[in-house]
Amino acid sequence: MLLGLNNIQPLQSIVVMVQKEVANRLVAIPGDKLSGAITYAIHYYCKPEILMEVPNDSFIPSPEVDSSVIKLSVLSAPSITVSNEQLFFRIIKQAFSQRRKTLVNALADFEGLTKNEITNMLEKLHIDTKIRGEKLTMEDYKNITEYICSFNQIKNF
């Protein structure tokens, strides 16, 4: 999985310093305008928090950017349960690979689904058909994953 976070169970937490903008993306709430595909992976495996801001003048020579120290508290189990973790993250990656497109267009032909089938799926899941991937919650992605899993089972039956 993304970043190898699925193999960190012996760890209780990870503390790192990263560029402030990256930290903000990592700790953003999934569905927030700052969220990215990595946000969902972090929140799936960890509880992130910013511990402190580090101004650029704390370093010699000074970089052009500020930094943040973040703590990723590793969860004992993923934050949500999905039947197909690989598919869950592939859907998220696909949705963010074309960020300016609606989810329907971003997922067109994903797993062999047509735009019509994707539109029907979103309607059945009570998700706006004009929504973009970055606006979805972890639960929304879970529901899409489960729908596609069941749809593919029916389709391949």
Q: Residues 71-124: pLDDT tens digits?
A: 999 999 999 999 999 999 999 999 999 878 899 999 988 888 899 999 999 999
pLDDT over 90, % of the chain? 75
Range list of β-strands (E), the chain = 13-19, 46-54, 67-74
Residues 6+ apart with CB under 8 A from 122: 103, 104, 128, 129, 131
Cβ atoms of 105 and 118 within 8 Å: the answer is no
CB-count burial class (<10 Å; 0-12, 13-18, 19+) for 149: middle
Cβ atoms of 94 and 113 within 8 Å: the answer is no
Is residue 43 predicted with pLDDT exceeding 50? yes
* DSSP at 152: H
Is residue 130 predicted with pLDDT exceeding 80? yes
pLDDT of residue 152: 66
